[in-house]
Amino acid sequence: MKKLINAPEAVLAEALVGIAAAHPELNVDHVNRIIYRGSPTREGKVALISGGGSGHEPLHGGFVGLGMLDAACAGEIFTSPTPDQMQEATRVADSGAGVLHIVKNYTGDVMNFEMAAELAEAETGVKVASIVINDDVAVEDSTWTAGRRGVGLTVLLEKIVGAAAEEGRDLEAVTALAHRVNDNGRSMGMALTSCTVPSAGKPTFDLPDDMMEIGVGIHGEPGRHRVALAPAASIAQQLVDPILADLDFTQGPVIAMVNGMGGSPLIELYLMYGEVARLLETAGVNVARSLVGNYITSLDMAGCSVTLLRVDDELLGLWDAPVNTSGLRWGV
């Protein structure tokens, strides 16, 4: 295993030290492993909290800031944060307007965020709502999930719902919007190589040199099938077709993301985006906005995912609204 680390068990703690050093605009709670905005949530603003296993950076800590999250709880690599972490983040971030928990659909995350919500409501009277994201069309049920997994749509949802909270919408409205985004987005990913979790010390799965995994999960969970390595045009089709088969994206504008899994160079992601854009045009899908890069990664996995989200003028306006995080920044 070749990694820029000191010891497998210290990766998260030491990465948080680096994040704190690089981002004086954030507050890092090293004991509870929570990343907050530098200033408290504005009174009357709904707080948005997310979190999950680490190893998907910039998600979620890189999306804390104006226009997106108020706090992110970092679990060990590919391991859910604890209810204690989430409860603490909820308590600190609440400004009296309530807190939305943004949860990717993995069994551990869902269970722990539910428990945290109950504890926070019982002990400190915070109003908590939650959204469980399940945009991955690849598989129903998986290694760590009942139902569909939550993947790339999380990035888009945190941006759009974050803008709505910044506008001052109340908890009910923000939660309804989160459900609307989740209902209108779909994703599908693929891997050319496995990732290597530091504590495991070896690749999560074996993938022969001439094969790829279509529908892979962001922790290397199995996808739909393992197929022969193919050109980018074919890979794009194998990702876009299942998405378009699952939801009609031809009735209005969409936001399209080609996301890197962490180990694929940007030049390849742009090449993939060219293929995806061509397929969408042929299918009569109108791309209003796009995002290409590493936004929700799987450590050093080579590969990519495609996310499509149906939008209207309201959602586009929220997408375009100012955002000031290390992972996404515009308009400020």
Q: Could you list the active site residues?
A: 56, 219
Decide: is 325 part of the binding site for its own copies (CB under 8 A).
Answer: no
Region binding its own copies by CB under 8 A among candidate stretches 146-154, 170-178, 291-299, 313-321: 291-299
In the bound state with its own copies, the residue whose beta carbon lies nearer, of 107 and 290, is: 290
Region binding its own copies by CB under 8 A among candidate stretches 65-73, 78-86, 97-105, 273-281: 273-281
Amino acid at 163: A
Region binding its own copies by CB under 8 A among candidate stretches 55-63, 85-93, 131-139, 155-163: 55-63
Of the candidates 211, 222, 69, 76, the residue with the CA atom closest to the CA atom of residue 144:
222
Q: How far is the CB of 234 from its own copies (least distance, A)?
A: 9
Task: Kindly give the residue spans of alpha helices, DSSP state H, lying in the chain.
Answer: 11-22, 83-93, 107-124, 153-167, 171-183, 232-246, 266-282, 313-320
Rounded to the nearest 5°, which phi and psi values hold at 3?
A: -145, 155
Decide: is 231 part of the binding site for its own copies (CB under 8 A).
Answer: yes
Cis peptide, bond prior to residue 203, ω within 30 of zero: no
In the bound state with its own copies, the residue whose beta carbon lies nearer, of 47 and 257, is: 257
Decide: is 81 part of the binding site for its own copies (CB under 8 A).
Answer: no
What residues form DSSP beta bridges with 36?
27, 71
Decide: is 189 part of the binding site for its own copies (CB under 8 A).
Answer: no
Decide: is 332 part of the binding site for its own copies (CB under 8 A).
Answer: yes
C-alpha 327/C-alpha 286 separation (Å) is 25
Output the CA torsion sign for 215, 328, 145, 192: positive
Determine how β-strand 99-104 pairs with β-strand 71-77. unpaired
Region binding its own copies by CB under 8 A among candidate stretches 17-25, 110-118, 216-224, 305-313: 17-25
**Which member of 21, 125, 206, 282 binds its own copies (CB under 8 A)?**
21
For 80, residues 6+ apart whose C-beta sits below 8 A from its C-beta are 52, 53, 106, 108, 109, 111, 112
**Which member of 84, 167, 246, 268 binds its own copies (CB under 8 A)?**
268
Residues that bind its own copies (CB under 8 A): 2-7, 11-12, 14-22, 54-55, 57-58, 62, 77, 192-193, 209, 212, 229, 231-233, 235, 262-275, 277, 287, 290-292, 294, 297, 299-300, 302-304, 329-332
